[in-house]
């Protein structure tokens, strides 16, 4: 997606075509839309700032500003609230004219003078709120697609609630919650008197360019039992919105009505930014029907990609989208979507223009959208995999590791932690998981020495001194020095019961106490050695030709050459074993 460093301010002239439905003006420098509706006034103040603008260490910063801005309103019978989304923050209210004016004035005044005496309390409230929400089957999808940044942050806890300072919060409010980064909308035939929406000057912020943690699509990942989830990113268009309706209806018909595999089977089209939208499809299934549900889902998508779409399916989807215009006070109903489009720079269509576009969508258009959606898709399956459907496994391991000191797991002989000058690597039987310091999204720290590093690509390595051999204060200091200060998030001390301890391992039957002592010393020695992978492997590769040359050229003629050959083969054995240990691969710790 292309963005501009300094995008133009919201263009009210683009709304001139809507004069019969929506009026527009400017209030204290804020573009304002209004349309009549009987009864109480509903108003909303949008700001173009949300989760995507934060980093993992500051995640929750926008949400915290929203909470602080509403604190002074206290308890009230007035219906009001705030909401922080991926790309925007909204303050909204419904009430009488005086109540709406008081609310909007109070929000703007608070944004310029946040009650910092409430900072710690509101941070704790946000952590409590996050703990009560839980995580659904769709929650991992953003991190797998985007990594630990931008749109991927919605998959993560709000780490900033532990460490954000008053200065950070004030600066965020001053630079993001500005009159040039806002749009106001309200129902009514005029703007109420008495509005004082004084906000600092600024600029409209573009939506950050989307990142990608998927080198290849379509891709799949293994998820929880009972849930099948598909997401894709599409170009925003009327045809794409129609396709989402067609897909949802087709999944319901094929997976529930025909197959009986699912109870819920649906699809959704949600704008992501000015140019792109997210397509999401979901289906549930009992354990014994999961394979069948996945197969039916893939078959349904294949049918749509081939253009085998009945005219009745298209007409039904088109009819549902047209119903949005069959409402009283249409202008007032369209205000939120028009205001958000104005804020993000998306095109604004009149109802007549949208109806014409809906009428022009044909089966060929839907087939092209279906192919675009599948080609960029990420499928979370509750079964073994989806290679058979032409999907590639989403990366579960890093392409390479780092060199450094080796710290064997105290729980599993096949797991090794490597702490190096460039990053950390966890090596287990499946592959390597690496977080490099220069690509570290965040590192949480505990007073007991624990460190958890999350890479921008979403991979995560936990450094628990109690679970790995010889993870000394000196080795932890390497991490603390190498990770950029802006990425460090200090966490409070854990109760002793929460500090992980190694599980008991059953010792080999033939091992004696003397063997145990030797093994312990050996582990300590390994922990002090740097992991020169390339050197060890090179030596292991060069020794066999050398030994073969000795055998061919003189092993029968000289006792000394015979001894050299025997020693060489023994050293080769040790090198192969060392290379195997150094290159042991492992299971990744993906972000939660």
d(CA 513, CA 493) in angstroms, rounded, equals 37
Secondary structure element (H or E) that encloses residue 534, with its range: helix 533-554
* pLDDT at site 365: 97
d(CA 214, CA 196) in angstroms, rounded, equals 47
CB neighbours of 326 closer than 8 A, spacing ≥ 6?
none
Alpha helices in 208-261 (DSSP H): 238-251
Sign of CA dihedral 213, 219, 221, 223: positive
Give me the residue spans of the domains in the chain: 12-187, 219-393, 530-582
Topology agreement, domain 12-187 and domain 219-393: yes
Name the nearest CA neighbour of 516 among 549, 63, 524: 524
Place of tokens 């930014």: 273
Tokens of 267: 């699809």
Spell out where 320-478 has E strands.
378-381, 392-393, 404-408, 416-420, 423-428, 431-436, 440-445, 451-455, 460-463
At residue 385, φ and ψ (nearest 5 deg) are: 175, -175
Fold of 12-187: Cytochrome Bc1 Complex; Chain A, domain 1 (3.30.830)
In angstroms and rounded to an integer, the radius of gyration of the C-alpha atoms of the chain is: 30
Q: DSSP class of residue 221?
A: E
* pLDDT at site 20: 78
d(CA 285, CA 259) in angstroms, rounded, equals 11
At residue 557, φ and ψ (nearest 5 deg) are: -100, -20
Contact 282, 138 (CB under 8 A): yes
Tell me how far the alpha carbon of residue 12 is from its chain's centroid.
Answer: 33
Quick check: bond before 425 cis, omega within 30?
Answer: no
d(CA 252, CA 247) in angstroms, rounded, equals 9
Contact 308, 166 (CB under 8 A): no
Q: DSSP class of residue 198?
A: -
* pLDDT at site 566: 37
Contact 377, 218 (CB under 8 A): yes
d(CA 222, CA 386) in angstroms, rounded, equals 9
* pLDDT at site 17: 61
d(CA 565, CA 573) in angstroms, rounded, equals 12
Q: b or e along 178-198 (b: 16 or more beta carbons within 10 Å of the residue's beta carbon)?
A: bbbbbbbbbbbeebbeebebe
CB neighbours of 297 closer than 8 A, spacing ≥ 6?
228, 230, 251, 255, 281, 283, 379
Place of tokens 């965040």: 442
At residue 53, φ and ψ (nearest 5 deg) are: -85, -10
d(CA 205, CA 182) in angstroms, rounded, equals 10
Pairing of strands 440-445, 488-490: parallel
Sign of CA dihedral 161, 165, 170, 172: negative
For 43, 314, 334, 430, 566, the CA distances from 356, given in Å and listed in that order, are 30, 15, 18, 54, 85
Tens-of-pLDDT digits for all 592 residues of the chain? Answer: 333 344 455 666 666 666 778 999 999 999 999 999 999 999 999 999 999 999 999 999 999 999 999 998 876 667 889 999 999 999 999 999 999 999 999 999 999 999 999 999 999 999 998 877 768 899 999 999 999 999 999 999 999 999 999 999 999 999 999 999 999 999 999 999 999 999 999 999 999 999 999 999 999 999 999 999 999 999 999 999 999 999 999 999 999 999 999 999 999 999 999 999 999 999 999 999 999 999 999 999 999 999 999 999 999 999 999 999 999 999 999 999 999 999 999 999 999 999 999 999 999 999 999 999 999 999 999 988 999 999 999 999 999 999 999 999 999 999 999 999 999 999 999 999 999 999 999 999 999 999 999 999 999 999 999 999 999 999 999 999 999 999 999 999 999 999 999 987 544 433 333 333 333 333 333 333 333 333 333 334 334 433 333 333 333 333 343 434 434 434 444 443 444 343 333 333 333 3
Q: What is the pTM of this model?
A: 0.82
Contact 233, 272 (CB under 8 A): yes
Reduced 3-state DSSP string for 125-189: HHHHHHHHHCCCCCCCHHHHHHCCCHHHHHHCCCHHHHCCCHHHHHHHHHHHCCHHHEEEEEECC
Q: What is the CATH number of domain 219-393?
A: 3.30.830.10
Strand order in the sheet with 404-408: 404-408, 416-420, 423-428, 431-436
* pLDDT at site 393: 96
For 264, 540, 586, the CA distances from 574, given in Å and listed in that order, are 57, 9, 22
């Amino acid at each position: 997606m292309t963005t501009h460093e300094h995008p133009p301010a919201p263009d009210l002239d683009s709304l001139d075509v809507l004069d019969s439905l929506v009026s527009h003006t400017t209030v204290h420098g804020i573009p304002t839309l209004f349309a009549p509706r009987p009864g109480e006034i509903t108003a909303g103040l949008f700001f173009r700032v949300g989760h995507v603008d934060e980093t993992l260490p500051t995640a929750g910063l926008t949400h915290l500003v929203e909470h602080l801005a509403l604190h002074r309103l206290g308890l009230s019978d007035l219906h009001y609230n705030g909401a922080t989304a991926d790309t925007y923050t909204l303050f909204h209210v419904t009430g009488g004219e005086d109540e709406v004016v008081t609310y909007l004035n109070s929000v703007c005044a608070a944004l310029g003078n946040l009650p910092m005496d409430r900072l710690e309390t509101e941070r704790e409230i946000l952590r409590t709120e996050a703990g009560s929400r839980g995580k659904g089957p769709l929650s991992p999808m953003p991190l797998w697609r985007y990594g630990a940044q931008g749109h991927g942050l919605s998959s993560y806890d709000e780490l900033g609630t532990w460490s954000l300072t008053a200065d950070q919060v004030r600066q965020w409010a001053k630079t993001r919650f500005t009159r040039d980064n806002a749009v106001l909308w309200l129902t009514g035939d005029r703007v109420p008197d008495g509005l004082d929406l004084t906000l600092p000057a600024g600029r409209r912020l573009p939506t950050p360019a989307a990142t990608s943690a998927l080198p290849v699509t379509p891709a799949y990942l293994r998820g929880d039992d009972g849930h099948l989830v598909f997401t894709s990113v599409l170009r925003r268009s009327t045809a794409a919105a129609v396709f989402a309706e067609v897909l949802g209806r087709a999944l319901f018909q094929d997976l529930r009505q025909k197959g009986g595999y699912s109870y819920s089977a649906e699809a959704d089209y949600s704008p992501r930014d000015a140019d792109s939208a997210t397509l999401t499809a979901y289906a549930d299934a009992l354990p014994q029907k999961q394979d069948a549900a996945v197969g039916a889902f893939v078959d349904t998508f294949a049918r749509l990609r081939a253009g085998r779409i009945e005219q009745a399916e298209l007409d039904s989807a088109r009819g549902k989208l047209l119903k949005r215009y069959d409402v009283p006070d249409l202008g007032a109903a369209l205000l939120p979507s028009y205001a958000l489009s104005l804020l993000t720079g998306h095109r604004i269509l009149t109802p007549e223009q949208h109806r014409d576009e809906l009428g022009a969508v044909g089966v060929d258009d839907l087939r092209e959208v279906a192919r675009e959606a599948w080609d960029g898709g990420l499928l979370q399956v509750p079964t073994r995999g989806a290679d058979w459907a032409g999907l590639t496994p989403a990366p579960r391991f890093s392409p390479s590791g780092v060199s450094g000191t080796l710290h064997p797991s105290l729980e599993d002989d096949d797991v090794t932690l490597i702490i190096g000058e460039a990053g950390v690597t966890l090596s287990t039987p499946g592959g390597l998981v690496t977080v490099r310091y220069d690509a570290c999204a965040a590192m949480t720290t505990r007073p007991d020495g624990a460190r958890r590093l999350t890479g921008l690509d979403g991979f995560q390595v936990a450094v628990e001194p109690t679970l790995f051999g010889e993870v000394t204060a000196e080795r932890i200091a390497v991490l603390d020095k190498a990770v950029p200060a802006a990425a460090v998030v200090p966490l409070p001390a854990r109760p002793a019961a929460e500090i992980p301890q190694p599980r008991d391992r059953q010792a080999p039957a033939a091992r004696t106490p003397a063997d145990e002592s030797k093994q312990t010393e050996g582990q300590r020695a390994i922990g002090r050695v740097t992991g020169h992978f390339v050197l060890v492997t090179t030596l292991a590769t060069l020794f066999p030709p050398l030994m073969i040359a000795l055998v061919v050229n003189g092993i029968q003629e000289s006792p000394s050459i015979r001894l050299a050959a025997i020693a060489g083969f023994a050293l080769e054995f040790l090198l192969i074993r060392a290379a195997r240990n150094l290159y042991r691969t492992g299971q990744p710790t993906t972000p939660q």
